[in-house]
Structure 1
């Protein structure tokens, strides 16, 4: 164990002292914060009020123009199309909507003019306004009151509650799905990043013949185990730095680019252009944003259990796959030769994410989710995507952990058998048949 510890210590210190580690430890949180901040900043910079001119030759908007929505206001211009185009160019409106004389039963012939192409969002809002006007005209012709129909529409919000042996617990499907994907993605990403580091480290020592000197003092199994544990420490260190720095950076910028402030600025601009109706709509947008925050607060997730299991499956999944990546590195001489062995190792990880979209998040307690959370190849991601939804019995969680530990011990033994032979073999193309023979070599 002392030799394994010395090797792990060397691997850890060698990597954390590199400039690349320090740079990525700082850039990681910035990129994380940027994922959330940049879209908001872009929306703020491009959040300019748009004015759509309406040439209503068909009288569709004879009573009133469409109500202002989002950042769009409507202004009436001449119903004559050539005159309307002249006004459009002179006033530099964002778009010109032309409503021809039409049959309300079969409305057709609408045209929208713009200078540099029409954005999808603006086009969708204009289409929605025209559709609403046509529907209102049809209801009026049929003698139906649109206000009465609106009062008959129901907007129901369901509060989900999980029933278990411990009692009732509030839940939120949206929040649970978000937490599940976040945990699964972090484990998936770190297994790949640091698993490949193990493989490249073993290949580098093998090709530089350094390992020939090292294994005169330690056994190949001890060398591989030390590498896996040392790089695992690097992964935990970087993850901890990312979490702490991401939280600090996100908290710092939240005040300046918060959705509430953006909505408030939008209210002030739209009010000046469109009056009190826009105020109601902007408040509705703000209410939707508050509902998301409220749902996250009310979701009674067991964050202690989720955090503890995340650390276990993060480490367990890394050790399980790290041993396999180390075995691949010892069996080949170049990264080109790794492709034939990488596919069987990485396919279960990719498969878990594919199945997650169809099964794990839609039926987290079904048979497929159960078996995937038991098999060590898929359990690190599958179980972490089940836990936020609740309802996972403790015996299933305990069994999954035991099987992952047993799987890790099995892969360490398997990788050690390959490592002791492959680490000193050069210039030979290794096949699966050759690997199977290495497992049964004596000594």
Structure 2
């Protein structure tokens, strides 16, 4: 047998190692398929979708209750109601006809002329004072604001709460999943088998990519569902102001989650027991929780929001909120996104180094300095 024939047989007996991109695809596919088969993941996603849809529908129901009260108007009293958009007048010939409509529930009150009243009219109710009619007929002085708010404070709070809770829940859920997966593989020594086939870099990249695809898909589905709900329920005013901020939120979240996913995986690689995951991932969890509380409590503070929009860990909620409020210049989201991308690249490099140097070290918790030095 010639040397060339022996070399050919040796090469065929030991196939070449898979390429990096193929290894990443295999690991990412494994992460996605395992999550998609999880009933808890599917149920939690369904509940989240229903909660978003319910909030949009309820907002339409309670916000769309603009039916003006009907009032029976007698004779010259019509001048007190004409031009009042808050009341719908129903003309009647006499008070008896008006009283019949009031008893039948067709109108909420009767507006009749009264010579003894200083205003020349009287409002008649059925069994209690028709306060909504009286308030609609009341005369109020003009009000001017020195610094009018561009967005209703109540609406701003709801939008801030929505951005905050979606970012908090998605990042925490998928980040914890990555951390648990890393420790379980290390504790059961499955990682030793995996590393005989793929590199540590490919394993980490696959985990981050797989879970990032799931998180991004969930966020995108929430955004599409919310925008469609606003469109179908006729809330086009809110849709016009919310559309661009939702798009920026999706973009910022997609990049920001990659950063957090790498940090969750790196932190989890430092320990060898599932019981210790909470301790090492607590700093990363704080990076997720702090932006949530800041945007909830300081959504009306432009200084805090401006700082949040440039800090990478809070930019996914801070900058979209400023876009919604109209306080961000056109170039600010772009600059903030560049800072976030640079920080994400650095976090991925450091996370990969910690992950690679700690993955095969079992027993006591690996010190961060040791993991960085290798």
Q: Is this contact kept in 2: 1:187–1:314, CA < 8 A?
A: yes
1:306 to 245, 270, 285: 245
TM-score for both structures, normalised by structure 2: 0.64
**2:173 match:** 193
Q: Distance in 2 between matches of 1:227 and 1:245?
A: 27
Q: Is this contact kept in 2: 1:29–1:242, CA < 8 A?
A: yes
Q: Does 1:371 align with 2:291?
A: no
Q: Does 1:17 align with 2:45?
A: no
Q: Does 1:181 align with 2:161?
A: yes
Distance change >3 Å, CA 221–CA 183, structure 1 → 2:
same
Shift of 1:200: 0.8
Which moved further from structure 2: 419-428 or 6-15? 6-15
**1:423 match:** 359
Q: Distance in 2 between matches of 1:242 and 1:151?
A: 44
Matching of residues 92-171 of structure 1 within 5 Å: 154=141, 156=143, 171=151
Q: Distance in 2 between matches of 1:38 and 1:303?
A: 17
Shift of 1:182: 1.0
Matching of residues 54-65 of structure 1 within 5 Å: none
Q: Does 1:344 align with 2:320?
A: no
Q: Residues 160-198 of structure 1: CA distance to partner in whole angstroms, max 9, x if unpaired? A: 978xxxxxxx74443333223212221121000100011
**1:435 match:** 368
Shift of 1:23: 3.1
Matching of residues 25-424 of structure 1 within 5 Å: 25-33=45-53, 154=141, 156=143, 171-242=151-222, 297-298=236-237, 301-359=240-298, 361-364=299-302, 366=303, 368-424=304-360
Q: Distance in 1 between matches of 2:239 and 2:247?
A: 16
Matched residue count: 282
Shift of 1:35: 6.4
Q: Distance in 2 between matches of 1:405 and 1:323?
A: 13
Aligned-residue CA RMSD in angstroms? 3.7
Shift of 1:419: 0.6
Q: Residues 28-75 of structure 1: CA distance to partner in whole angstroms, max 9, x if unpaired? A: 33344566889999xxxxxxxxxxxxxxxxxxxxxxxxxxxxxxxxxx
Shift of 1:439: 0.8
Distance change >3 Å, CA 249–CA 13, structure 1 → 2:
same
Q: Is this contact kept in 2: 1:175–1:299, CA < 8 A?
A: no
Q: What stretches of structure 1 of length at least 5 have no aligned partner?
A: 42-128, 130-146, 163-169, 255-292
Shift of 1:319: 0.9
Which moved further from structure 2: 241-250 or 405-414? 241-250
Which moved further from structure 2: 189-198 or 21-30? 21-30
Q: What stretches of structure 2 of length at least 5 have no aligned partner?
A: 1-20, 62-128
Q: Residues 316-348 of structure 1: CA distance to partner in whole angstroms, max 9, x if unpaired? A: 221111111111221112233233323322223
**2:13 match:** none
TM-score for both structures, normalised by structure 1: 0.55
